[in-house]
Amino acid sequence: MPSHSAPQVVREAARRIVDLVPTEDDVHLDSLPDEVETSIAVPLTEVARMLEERTSDKEFRGGVRLLLEAGAEVVPRMPGELRHLFEELRFAVRGVAAR
């Protein structure tokens, strides 16, 4: 499989978010604004699990979509880098290269 296939691009974009906000590090999650933490903590943990277990592309995309939906309303309140990575993930899911 090519390294830049659509499913791989989505996995790489999701991995950057998981690496930025380690789900096993409550201190980092707790440092996010409360609305952001409450909205994304559970779906982000699930996406992190899916990355580790290498779930099917279909199941993974479902998890990523849930994460994006959960975070949609709080994106403007996310710290800059996290906000950028969420936008990058959204574009990856849509099949559009982030700028």
Q: Is 1 within a domain?
A: no
Q: What is the pTM of this model?
A: 0.84
- Inform me whether the pLDDT recorded for 85 exceeds 70: yes
Q: Is 99 within a domain?
A: no
- Domain range holding 77? 6-94
Q: Is 33 within a domain?
A: yes
pLDDT digits (tens, 9 = 90+) for 7-58: 899 999 999 999 988 766 666 677 889 999 999 999 999 999 999 998 999 9
Domain count, the chain: 1
pLDDT band, very low/low/confident/very high, at 95 (cuts 50, 70, 90): confident
pLDDT of residue 27: 64
pLDDT of residue 25: 61
pLDDT of residue 32: 86
pLDDT of residue 96: 54
Q: What are the DSSP calls for 36-49, one per residue?
A: HHHHHHHHHHHHHH
